[in-house]
Amino acid sequence: MSAGLTDKSGDEARQNMQVKSFKAWVNMHLGKEREAKLEVDDLSKDFTDGIRLLRLVEIISEEELGKYNKKPISKFQKVENLNIPLKFINSFLKDIGIKNSYSAENILEENVTLILGMVWSLILRFNVSEIEEGDQTAKEGLLLWAKNKVAEVTGGTKVITNFHTNWQDGVAFNALIQAYRPDLTNYNSLDPNDKKANLVKAFDIAEQQLGIGRLLDADDMVSVMRPDEKSVMTYVSLFWKEFAANKRKRLAGERIAQVAQREMSNAEMEASYAASASSLAKWMQEKTAALLAGPNCNSQSELEIVLQAQQEYGRTERPAKQQELLDLEALSSSLASRLATLGRSFEPPPEISLASLQRWWEELTQAEHKYTEQLKEQLQNLKKVELYIKLFNSKAGKLEDWFDAKEAWLQAWADKLSDAPAAEEPQAEREGL
């Protein structure tokens, strides 16, 4: 089999492995439901009425989410049911800084990729998030815990660095069990080459002796070059919950929660700074360019409207943007102080650094002054032009009146002259002409 074909089939196998392990995880929790049998057979279809998803969230969160339609028939009823647990899921995703959200349509459309993502979010929140070692993330903490426990048993001969290939031969699972229950297995008795037998042994012991649900399948683990990381991580987290449920775990969990909260808070602050700074930088640059283009008015009335708009900008929009800049300065200072205590520094991209924002604000201020002067100057010029126009119109009107009067006078004389011969003829006859 070629490498390309192996990779493609491996991806499909990993997704199938994830579907099976996530379904097992869901059913492990739904199995605690005593009132009704809510086992999931198909992850892409069995959540569509909202009932199983709602009960799953209630069971793992130990919270009641409220009333729901227990016999939904219409799409509307199913959407109503789905929106109840999805609101809960999207809420905690938002709280930890994840912008992704899930909708009822995703589930009704039987989008298996998004459904797997949603289940993984629940696993992270209720299975993995409390696991950390020191300042490590949840994943890193779980990996460090497993690495240390396996190393204690094997003397370092079995090294754990990931959640996929390191677990494929079954030795690590047996060593993990042996770290807490040496009476159940002995990794020295295992043949590293007999991967499937080692995996089956560990899975059987975990299920029958420790009550750890069988989330993985030995055939799936050995059939691909690299098993699905999320599936293995989910299964290992069950061992952690079983073995580390003691006082030390609770204290570590509290410490981890504080660290996680701090990191999430810092990340949220950094994201907030980046979003606000990018928006303000774009506004300042666009506003500066518009001001530098100068006013374009053809009359005093038009210019007065533009001048009023500029005055309103100075009273409302500009102060609001200046407050945004002050808020960003305060946020940057707070972040710098927080990160300094951790030996880190706050260094946003140059284009949204505080120095860049302050420089652009100064350029904007200069453009505002120039624009205002141009407005005043243009207004004065237009006033003079309109005054000259009025004077011209006044004099032109008087001249037209004078022309009209003269024209009327001339017309009157013309009329008299046209009548003059008829009046003078009798006098000429009297004179013998």
> Domain locations in the chain?
11-128, 138-245, 267-400
pLDDT in tens, 6-38: 455 677 888 899 999 999 999 998 887 766 678
Separation CA 52–CA 74 (nearest Å):
17
Model-level pTM?
0.55
CATH 1.10.418.10 fits 11-128, yes or no: yes
pLDDT tens-digit map of 177-211: 999 889 999 989 999 899 999 999 999 999 999 88
Domain 267-400 fold is: Methane Monooxygenase Hydroxylase; Chain G, domain 1 (1.20.58)
- Point out the residues of the chain with pLDDT beneath 70: 1-9, 34-36, 96-97, 99, 130, 132-136, 244-257, 300, 379, 381-389, 391, 419-433
Sign of the torsion angle spanned by Cα atoms 285, 288, 294, 297: positive
Q: Same CATH fold, 267-400 and 11-128? A: no
Q: What is the pLDDT of residue 96?
A: 66
CB under 8 Å to 345, separation ≥6 — which residues?
A: 336, 339
CATH superfamily of 138-245: Calponin-like domain (1.10.418.10)
